[in-house]
């Protein structure tokens, strides 16, 4: 399972789902899937045969055209944030509207008859407006492009206004839902009143919520929205309600900031870990190391010779020793990991604890085309595509359970892949 968007590395959704899987001993894992478009995300979902995928900005609208069926509420809202794979049939749902309403109810707010203003008419804003209207609130959608607000209001039978009317609308409002990006704030501090209940969709602190705090407004955090939209999403995936308290506890396990100095690239042989890793290291000013190269240097033998003369088990032991040395060394590094390195439990534990782990993905067919014959011992067989597919299927879950983010390398140049990764890291960590 996965969450997709652009960017997506910042997402805390894996923390919630993986905490639940771990506590319940469920044989499942959940990771971030980086994509450049909704279409690419769906192609990857099908290729990996994912059971489900959550969708964040900016793909919620575009992904509707990429799935096989869209639930009626999602179609009305005009956005999908949950995709379920039922034996190859992809169905899109929207659980954001539930997330908004439930977060306000959890905070002790009554929605029936309350005056609510939703700032922003994008996917999140429309879902918020629908969720509030469904529970009896009086809603006004305010948006910079008035036609977009008018269109949404017509769908939900609510009011709309342009940004030039925002101050007036706020004066009459009880609840304010802010669905714009964290660096955008059309609200003057003087327009906010202490009686306002503020619900900010951003789960990073925004300029808007900061101003609201100074005014003494009641603040409902964006993380509540994230949690409460995930609960019905889980229900769609598995047919049972999850333990929301366990999912909430998982949010505190987000630790990517602690692992940013060592970036480990995992994935099948030929997926581009070395070429991409070198370019990423140069871009970020990190040093680059390749575990295969270090094993060759240590053993004074090529990898095919090690396999032939000493066996795969000996190679895996040497590989583990090399990784331990890298982890213990100081400095910022990009690490290209051998294709089978993560199969070892000890290796996987080291990577997930100390490294930002990126899974570089390409299909077995694409990989076989890239690899020079005779250079990869495990593929020196009569039908290398069949063997590569078999090996990949055996390793797929392990790669997924170890990774912080999957990056597609199927049709992209290594320069573009490195740039994509750098952008994700910069947007997440702010450098």
* Residue whose structure tokens are 């652009």: 6
CATH class of 98-220: alpha beta
Look up residue 378 and give its two tokens: 């495990």
Which alpha helices (H) appear in 285-413, and where do they start and end? 291-299, 303-310, 312-328, 345-354, 364-370, 384-402
Mean pLDDT over 191-195 rounds to: 95
CATH of 2-92+229-252, one of 3.40.50.300, 3.40.50.10860, 3.40.50.2000, 3.30.1490.20: 3.40.50.10860
Mean pLDDT over 181-188 rounds to: 86
Q: What is the pLDDT of residues 159-182, one digit of tens each?
A: 999 999 999 999 999 999 999 887
Mean pLDDT over 401-421 rounds to: 95
Instruction: For residues 217 and 179, give the distance between their C-alpha atoms in angstroms, rounded to a whole number.
Output: 17
431 confidence band (pLDDT: 50, 70, 90): low
The answer to whether 134 is a known catalytic residue is no
**Residue ranges per structural domain of the chain:** 2-92+229-252, 98-220, 256-429
Look up residue 306 and give its two tokens: 């090690």
138-143 and 159-162 strand pairing? parallel
Answer whether 2-92+229-252 and 98-220 agree in fold: yes
Q: What is the pLDDT of residues 123-148, one digit of tens each?
A: 899 999 999 999 999 999 999 999 99
pLDDT at 375: 67
Look at residue 330 and tell me whether its pLDDT is greater than 70: yes
Look at residue 73 and tell me whether its pLDDT is greater than 80: yes
Asked, as a colleague might, if the bond just before 195 is cis with ω within 30 of 0, I would say no
Query: How much of the chain, in percent, has pLDDT values that exceed 90?
Result: 82
What is the pLDDT of the chain when averaged over all its residues? 94
Annotated catalytic residue within 12, 39, 60, 369 = 60
pLDDT at 207: 84
pLDDT at 46: 98
pLDDT at 150: 97
Instruction: For residues 28 and 88, give the distance between their C-alpha atoms in angstroms, rounded to a whole number.
Output: 18
Surface-to-core class of residue 309, CB atoms within 10 Å of its CB (0-12 exposed, 13-18 middle, 19+ buried): exposed
CATH of 256-429, one of 3.50.50.60, 3.90.420.10, 3.40.50.720, 3.40.50.300: 3.40.50.300
Look at residue 304 and tell me whether its pLDDT is greater than 90: no
Q: What is the pLDDT of residues 343-368, one digit of tens each?
A: 999 999 999 999 999 999 999 999 88
Q: What is the pLDDT of residues 41-69, one digit of tens each?
A: 999 999 999 999 999 989 999 999 999 99
CA distances to 185, 362, 399, 409 from 367, rounded to whole Å, are 46, 6, 16, 10
């Amino acid at each position: 399972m996965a969450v997709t968007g652009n960017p997506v590395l910042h997402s805390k959704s894996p923390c919630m789902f993986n905490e639940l899987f771990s506590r319940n001993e469920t044989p499942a894992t959940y990771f971030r899937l980086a994509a450049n478009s909704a279409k690419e995300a769906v192609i990857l979902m099908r290729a990996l045969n994912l059971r489900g995928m959550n969708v964040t900005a900016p793909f919620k609208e575009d992904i509707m055209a990429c799935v096989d069926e869209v639930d009626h509420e999602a179609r009305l809202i005009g956005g999908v944030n949950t995709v379920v794979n039922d034996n190859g049939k992809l169905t899109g749902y929207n659980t954001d509207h539930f997330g908004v309403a439930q977060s306000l109810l959890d905070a002790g707010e009554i929605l029936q008859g309350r005056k609510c203003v939703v700032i922003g008419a994008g996917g999140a804003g429309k879902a918020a407006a629908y969720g509030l209207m469904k529970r009896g609130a009086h809603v006004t959608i305010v948006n910079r492009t008035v036609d977009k607000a008018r269109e949404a209001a017509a769908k939900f039978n609510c009011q709309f206004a342009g940004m030039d009317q925002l101050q007036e609308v706020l004066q009459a409002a009880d609840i304010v839902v802010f669905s714009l990006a964290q660096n955008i704030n059309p609200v003057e501090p003087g327009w906010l009143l202490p009686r306002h209940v503020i619900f900010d969709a951003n789960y990073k602190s925004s300029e808007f919520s900061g101003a609201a705090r100074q005014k003494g407004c009641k603040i409902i955090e964006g993380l509540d929205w994230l949690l409460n939209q995930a609960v019905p999403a889980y229900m769609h995936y598995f047919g049972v309600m999850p333990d929301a308290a366990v999912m909430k506890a998982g949010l505190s396990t987000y630790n990517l900031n602690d692992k940013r100095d060592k970036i480990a690239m995992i994935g099948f042989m030929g997926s581009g870990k070395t070429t991409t890793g070198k370019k990423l290291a140069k871009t970020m000013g990190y040093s680059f190391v390749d575990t295969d190269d270090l094993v060759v240097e240590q053993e004074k033998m090529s990898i095919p010779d090690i396999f032939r003369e000493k066996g795969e088990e000996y190679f895996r032991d040497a590989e583990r020793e090399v990784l331990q040395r890298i982890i213990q060394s100081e400095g910022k590094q990009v690490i290209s990991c051998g294709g089978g390195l993560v199969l070892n439990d000890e290796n996987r534990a080291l990577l997930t604890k100390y490294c930002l782990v990126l899974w570089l993905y390409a299909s077995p067919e694409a990989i076989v085309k890239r690899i020079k014959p005779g250079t990869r011992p495990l593929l020196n067989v009569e039908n290398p595509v069949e063997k590569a597919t078999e090996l990949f299927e055996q390793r797929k879950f392990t790669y997924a359970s170890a990774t912080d983010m999957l990056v597609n390398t199927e049709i992209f140049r290594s320069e573009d892949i490195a740039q994509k990764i750098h952008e994700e890291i910069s947007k997440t960590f702010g450098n």
